[in-house]
Structure 1
Amino acid sequence: MTLQRRILIFAVSLAVLMAVGLIAVLRASSAAHERDRARADGPRTDRGDVSLAPDAGGRRIVFRNMAWGPHRDELATVAADAPERARTVSGVSCLRFHAAGGTGICLRADRAVVLDARLKEVSARPLAGIPTRARVSPGGHLAAWTVFVGGDSYAGTDFSTRTSVLDLRTGGFDASLEDFTIHKDGKPYRSADVNFWGVTFAADERTFYATMATGGRTHLVRGDLAGRTVTTLRENVECPSLSPDGTRVVFKKRVAGLPAEAPWRLHVLDLASGAETPLAEERSVDDQVVWTDRGTVVYSLPGDFGADLYAVPADGSGAPARLMDSALAPAFLG
């Protein structure tokens, strides 16, 4: 083989290798661009039927869609085991939402709307302030919601809340938990500065837990709807969420030394032993966390479109992981 032929073969080989490399770079760049564009545009949505029925199509997440576009703020659903897939949106808009037992509670700017399993309005109540928390009992018979009636953040101290509970079985309505009899530290207690928020219901459809604030401190309380009483259990507990087996609550706790605008860390409290477990999420979470099952909790943090959802083990192990972009107020059904 002549020297000229060898040089020609080398040049051709080099050109082929450069072309292959260029194609690989272009493909990688195109894929990255597509990912960036998809994130900029938000998750794909398709209009369709959204059901709150426990057995409708397997385990699902129903949530408020936060992606920009014509379906922002609408209730949407995805399969719980494929949260990254295209979302089915409902046309029903909510600012806060929760569902269980085939019943949904949808907070809008001026009213709380009870939804049936097909997202049809069952009843509605006017709201006295800015919607912030909502919960439905495991059996779907009770709904609770909290609104701000002064101020706009739990992080400060200049705010007032009103928490209401509706019994869908009887139509009974407690407009404010502040009307309940309070037992604090074993004694009857009354104060003009009492506020409640963050109700979470037990499976007996009677017992609930919530946050009570008074005298500059927050308390975990256990409530009895039939007796219209609340009893303080522990200080420095906010926005509790009861585990599916009723043995633990996950909550946000104020931690000394953290910034005033980001003061919370997630903890789990064992109700029987009183033991607290800090979770692996080190960012400040201002949310009422939900349980996906006995071992995992999900919560929101600020994101590109308002909020993203993250999951973390409930035993303090592991690390937080992003579950969904552009989503808020999830309910795990089925």
Structure 2
Amino acid sequence: MTALPALAGRRLWALLLGVLLLAGGATAYTLRAAAGRPDAAAAADPGFRLDAPPGTLYFRDTATGRVARQDPAAPGSRVAQGPRCDRFHAAGPTALCLQRRPGLPARSYVLVLDRRLRELRRMSLPGIPDRARVSASGQVLAWTTFATGDSYATSAFSTRTSILDLRTGYLIKNIEQIPLTLDGRRHHAPDVNYWGVSFAGDDNRFYATVATRGHTHLVEGDLRNWSARAVKENVECPSLSPDGTRIAYKKKVSTDPRAPWRLYVLDLATLREHPLAETRSVDDQAAWTGPGTLAYAHEGAVWTVPADGSGAPSRTAAGATSPVVLR
């Protein structure tokens, strides 16, 4: 007689377990479905476009996550009505917006937008958004995500850098397979990581960082010939000047993981470099806002500094990242 209650108890527990599993599965499915749907609330307001007067600063407003614009001379002029982005860049007729969505593993979306910030193309990709760049013509785009880790200050990270040519629609999902010449020889190693692409004006050449065997290098890439060669060691997150003669970048100057870098500018013809007046450690891919000025994000704000090493850094926009001035 005592076996019957025990059997009934086991059946009850089995029933409850089944209900919980079904409920959990339904919840997980709902979350996955929601994560895959475009978020209408993340789109730009209809009147917000990339048509402000020359010199207007665009950036990501950290309070709302939306793209904003501001007259650098009038901080109170901020308007944050653009799309929601974790990283943003724009040039020519094109804008690039990287959005991170919740979930495990981390998933992100690449949004290609027009000058009115209307969505032209959307692609999903794994990882955490990190860098975004559009060529001056607006025809070639690049982005980098962290596949593992979330900081260049440690060795425990892996990146994935992609390039999209809007003229042909051709997408290079990961440029790690590009033949690399290092110290005059073809370099093969399983630890090669690329990040921080910056395009030349011909939409063919590009500059980027490559890390391998514990060192970082500035590389010059050639998309048409599908090749890359190392130019200089200890260069990260390069940004090519509008005239194509200089590279702004962060240089590792300390082994302290809390403050390892300082911003520098490199003359490509002579390979001579000089530090900028910004002495704090900046972990960003600086943006040229003109022929002699750089903007970058640091401690939750956008700062500007002269590119020739003179002057002093100036806070241009509080609560902001991903600065860009359209030309």
Identity %: 50
Mapped pair 1:86 → 2:83: no
> Counterpart in 2 of 1:149?
147
TM-score by length of 2: 0.82
Could you list the per-position Cα deviations for residues 203-248 of structure 1 after superposition, in whole angstroms to 9, with x for gaps in the alignment?
Answer: 1111100000000000000001111111100100000000011000
Mapped pair 1:60 → 2:56: yes
> Counterpart in 2 of 1:23?
none
Could you list the per-position Cα deviations for residues 162-208 of structure 1 after superposition, in whole angstroms to 9, with x for gaps in the alignment?
Answer: 00000011001100110211111111111110000000011111110
> Counterpart in 2 of 1:286?
283
Q: 1:213, 1:219 within 8 Å by CA — same for their partners in 2?
A: yes
* Matching residue within 138, 141, 146 for 1:140: 138
TM superposition shift of 1:91: 4.6
TM-score by length of 1: 0.80
Q: 1:280, 1:312 within 8 Å by CA — same for their partners in 2?
A: yes
Q: How does 1:144-183 map to 2 (within 5 A)?
A: 144-183=142-181
Q: Distance in 1 between matches of 2:304 and 2:159?
A: 28
Pick the structure with greater CA Rg: 1
> Counterpart in 1 of 2:65?
73
* Matching residue within 315, 318, 321 for 1:325: 318
> Counterpart in 2 of 1:20?
none
SS of structure 2 residue aligned to 1:51: coil
Q: 2:278, 2:313 within 8 Å by CA — same for their partners in 1?
A: yes
Q: Distance in 1 between matches of 2:323 and 2:216?
A: 25
Q: Distance in 2 between matches of 1:194 and 1:211?
A: 10
| Corresponding pairs, count | 276
TM superposition shift of 1:50: 2.3
SS of structure 2 residue aligned to 1:127: strand
Give the residue type in structure 2 aligned to 1:325.
A
Q: 1:146, 1:198 within 8 Å by CA — same for their partners in 2?
A: yes
Give the residue type in structure 2 aligned to 1:58.
P
TM superposition shift of 1:128: 1.6
Q: How does 1:203-222 map to 2 (within 5 A)?
A: 203-222=201-220
Q: Distance in 2 between matches of 1:102 and 1:239?
A: 24
Q: Distance in 2 between matches of 1:321 and 1:86?
A: 17
Q: Relative to 1, partners in 2 of residues 1:77 and 1:48: Cα closer, same or farther, differing over 3 Å?
A: farther
Give the residue type in structure 1 aligned to 2:311.
G
Q: 2:71, 2:77 within 8 Å by CA — same for their partners in 1?
A: no
Give the residue type in structure 1 aligned to 2:316.
L
> Counterpart in 2 of 1:38?
none
TM superposition shift of 1:268: 0.4
Give the residue type in structure 2 aligned to 1:261.
R
TM superposition shift of 1:48: 6.8
SS of structure 1 residue aligned to 2:80: strand
Q: 2:130, 2:145 within 8 Å by CA — same for their partners in 1?
A: yes
TM superposition shift of 1:333: 1.5
Could you list the per-position Cα deviations for residues 288-331 of structure 1 after superposition, in whole angstroms to 9, with x for gaps in the alignment?
Answer: 000111111111111xxxx1011111111111111111111011
Mapped pair 1:313 → 2:314: no
Give the residue type in structure 1 aligned to 2:89.
H
Q: 1:74, 1:92 within 8 Å by CA — same for their partners in 2?
A: yes
Q: 1:112, 1:124 within 8 Å by CA — same for their partners in 2?
A: yes
RMSD over equivalenced CA pairs, Å:
1.3
> Counterpart in 2 of 1:99?
90
Mapped pair 1:262 → 2:259: yes
Give the residue type in structure 2 aligned to 1:263.
P
Structure 1 gaps, min length 5? 1-46
Structure 2 gaps, min length 5? 1-44, 101-107
Q: 1:48, 1:88 within 8 Å by CA — same for their partners in 2?
A: no
Q: Distance in 2 between matches of 1:142 and 1:128?
A: 21
Q: Distance in 2 between matches of 1:222 and 1:73?
A: 33
Could you list the per-position Cα deviations for residues 114-168 of structure 1 after superposition, in whole angstroms to 9, with x for gaps in the alignment?
Answer: 1100111111221220000000000100110000001110000010000000001
Q: 1:61, 1:330 within 8 Å by CA — same for their partners in 2?
A: yes
Give the residue type in structure 2 aligned to 1:326.
G
TM superposition shift of 1:60: 1.4
